[in-house]
Amino acid sequence: MHALTAATYLGNGIFREAMARDLGITPGDLDTRAAAVFEHMFSGLERANRPR
């Protein structure tokens, strides 16, 4: 998980402006969307690891 998170943040830092431009949004909007996706992903992992 740590490697995936680090690679994602590194890639975002490198390609952030180009990705935002390609999507037709601002880098700030991309940051907001990325944060929401990460929150969703982490909450899913948290639910999956709860004892049943």
Structure confidence by residue, pLDDT tens digits, 1-52: 788 888 988 999 999 999 999 999 999 999 999 999 989 988 887 777 777 7
- Domain presence at residue 8: no
- Domain presence at residue 5: no
Gap between the Cα atoms of 26 and 19, Å rounded: 9
Give the model's pLDDT for residue 18: 97
16, 30 in Cβ contact below 8 A?
yes
- Domain presence at residue 52: yes
- The boundaries of the domain holding residue 45 are 14-52
Closest CA to 14 of 27, 33, 29, 1: 27
- Domain presence at residue 1: no
Give the model's pLDDT for residue 13: 92
At residue 17, what are phi and psi to the nearest 5 degrees?
-65, -40
Total of domains in the chain: 1
Q: Cβ atoms within 10 A of the Cβ of 30, count?
A: 19
Give the model's pLDDT for residue 11: 92
Gap between the Cα atoms of 24 and 6, Å rounded: 25
- Domain presence at residue 46: yes
